[in-house]
Structure 1
Amino acid sequence: MIIATSPQKCFAVVVVCLGGFGAATAQTVAEMENGRYALSPVADGVIRLDTRTGAVSTCNNSGAGWACYAVPDERAALDAEIGRLQSDNEKLKAQLAAREPTVTGKIDEPLPKTDSLKPATPKAEAERKIEIPLPSDRDMDRVMSFLEQAWRRLIEMAQRVQKDFSGKI
């Protein structure tokens, strides 16, 4: 057991007990007073945020002492990808502008409305008209007599069904 009698000895004991953490803390104490770093404890060490630059580091005590490692910045990777895509876009626009135009001017005539799957019909067939003859009076009389007979049979059948049901009830 170590017993220290003076404040200087107490500080020396604390530094020895904490190992290299004392050196890391001594550097950041002055900077923490200015509010540059914000420290948050985690399971295996501390996370250090540089409030001026926004850089994040994880600090942990390995066997050799405390060490801080920068956390990969996803924003920097995103900015790099955005820059690459913007330059690719500019290159493609320049290539497109360098090409010859495929269509020159406005087309005044409307495109023909034809079905590309149907074979083209000769004009002689297109000009032919199909005539459907109307039924004669004799044909109309035959249709009307057929409908009248069908209607009569339907009515007679309904009457028979009605008599059968009324007799059984």
Structure 2
Amino acid sequence: MRIVVATLAALVAGAAVAAEPAPPPVDGPVAAEDNFAIAPAEGRHLKIDRRDGRISLCEEKAGAWRCSLVPDDRDAYEGEIAALKKRVADLEAEVAALRAERRPPADAADEEKRLDEFLDFSDKAFRRFFGMVREMRREFGDESRI
């Protein structure tokens, strides 16, 4: 047990464990200072952080133990999900703003009334315009082209 604790202390500190022999094979996880657990994994060992669930792969190279953090795909997925949720919320807010700006659809009777008003206005404007043209031609004595 002293070898496991010494090896663990070296793993946590990142120091070499040249003086100590390699840890004996272990059949299951071994508790280490209540924060970490060590489990065998294909000739290497996994260091499991019990506080945040991060996993490191530890192996002996050139007489020193080195641990490297195993990438957690879950963090990437959760980050992507959070970014997509924010984007959806932004797009929903934009759609709501655009809908608020849009005028309500008019019914057919209202459209018919507006068209009649426009045609009446156009009729009056053209009659006035051509009346002014006739007046100018009379004033200048050219009534032949009226």
TM range (shorter): 0.3 to 0.5
TM-score (norm 2): 0.48
The normalised TM-score by structure 1 is 0.42
Bigger Rg, which one: 1
Which structure has more strand as a fraction of its residues? Answer: 2
